[in-house]
Chains A and B, each alone.
Chain A
Amino acid sequence: AQSVTQLGSHVSVSEGALVLLRCNYSSSVPPYLFWYVQYPNQGLQLLLKYTTGATLVKGINGFEAEFKKSETSFHLTKPSAHMSDAAEYFCAVSEGETSYDKVIFGPGTSLSVIP
């Protein structure tokens, strides 16, 4: 069965600094990988996804993530943090051979941005 771990439940960065949120997964088949963001009292929205093809994936709001099969990782980065990036970030994995499949979420990382 697939699973997701996110190292660091809370991450603080200064405004303008690099954002790095870590995600490792386990999957018995080539995975679909996702990053979602959740703002307070809202649902989750997709930041970016990896299905097949290019391993460096660009998403919304300047975020990107790189799929590294050898490391079973899908870390999320952004070169320069903005105050509006403060939110909860969830990494997720699906073993969707049919594109519809159970999606498993990691425990989340809360990002704080310090002015």
Chain B
Amino acid sequence: NAGVMQNPRHLVRRRGQEARLRCSPMKGHSHVYWYRQLPEEGLKFMVYLQKENIIDESGMPKERFSAEFPKEGPSILRIQQVVRGDSAAYFCAGGANTGELFFGEGSRLTVL
């Protein structure tokens, strides 16, 4: 959905560097979801946030990964000390009160 903005669309990092992925949901959507999609696999839930609050982070790896959704500005998914296994497409979605998710076009992370 063109209304959900993700950037960068493509990001290349070397092992050990940090990756920051940004997501701005559609106006009026105060909830953000992050999913990870590996090649030939489905979407794996990572984290669900509302403004200034993490609601469910049961899908986030315990180390190196963090997410925030500040009162002002986009939601950010941060991956520290990236490894090759972090290479994937990361999708953000905004939530509506109908339960429907509105997805961005994804950020594709490649770790060299």
Contact = CB atoms under 8 A, between A and B. Distances in A.
Interface of A: 32, 34, 36, 41-46, 49, 51, 90, 94, 96, 99-108
A103 B45 contact: yes
Given A105-B42, A107-B42, A44 B97 contact: no
Interface in B84-104: 91, 93, 95, 97-101, 103-104
B31 interface: yes
Contacts of A43: 1, 4, 91, 93, 103-106
A105 B43 contact: yes
Interface string B61-91: 0000000000000000000000000000001
Contact of B41 (A32, A41, A107): A107
A88 B33 CA distance: 20
18 contacts: A32-B99, A36-B101, A41-B105, A41-B106, A42-B105, A42-B106, A43-B93, A43-B106, A44-B93, A51-B98, A99-B98, A99-B99, A100-B31, A101-B99, A102-B56, A103-B99, A105-B44, A105-B45
B100 A44 contact: no
A102 B100 contact: no
A36 B1 CA distance: 12
